[in-house]
Copies of this chain bind each other. A is one copy, B any other.
């Protein structure tokens, strides 16, 4: 995570950010926290989740108040993979804590802020995220559309995803995110319990520490 977040020209991303105050504030915050690769990924996750919600006529993506929560959860879902939030817990939970704290600081009520917490905390929990709450499901499927060809095929998302990627490039997201999670967890193994995505990434790294491509557990 060597990228500088301070003096970037990210304004070409603004047109994808809803103009409502909470979304603008969340994007401004994310710009100060996320390296460009993660900012791109997180914005694509929102765009894909919103696309899916609109297709399904799901209120969690189509009404302003709920779409605001979807934006905050999406743009903040990988905060825990940055040095700003490299605490003692697995990155999903550190990110969830940071996202909830941000939401509360913006006046979001506790109940809604905790829905954001849940969506971020379980975004790497297969089969659970999809069923625990509609907001968690949309964030999870946004992540899966960004990372899994099978999900794009299943949801008919290939063409749309390709058009978004041409405007918000991938910038080696898999390599950078996988390496960031492993780098945090190597000196703090309690951040990577065996039965967790960080645990799978650390195990794959340790099995082949000289491998320099995308983490094989990704």
Contact = CB atoms under 8 A, between A and B. Distances in A.
Given A118-B132, A121-B132, A131-B121, A90 B193 contact: no
Contacts of A90: 126-127
A5 to B, nearest CB: 27
Contacts of A131: 93, 96, 117, 121
Identical copies of this chain, number: 2
Contacts of A121: 128, 131-132
Nearest to A90: B127
Interface in A33-79: none
A18 interface: no
B195 A199 contact: yes
B126 A193 contact: yes
Interface residues of A, number: 24
A118 B193 CA distance: 20
A104 interface: no
Contacts of A195: 124-126, 195-197, 199-200
Nearest to A89: B127
Interface in A103-149: 117-118, 121-122, 124-128, 131-132
Interface of A: 89-90, 92-93, 96, 117-118, 121-122, 124-128, 131-132, 193-197, 199-200, 217
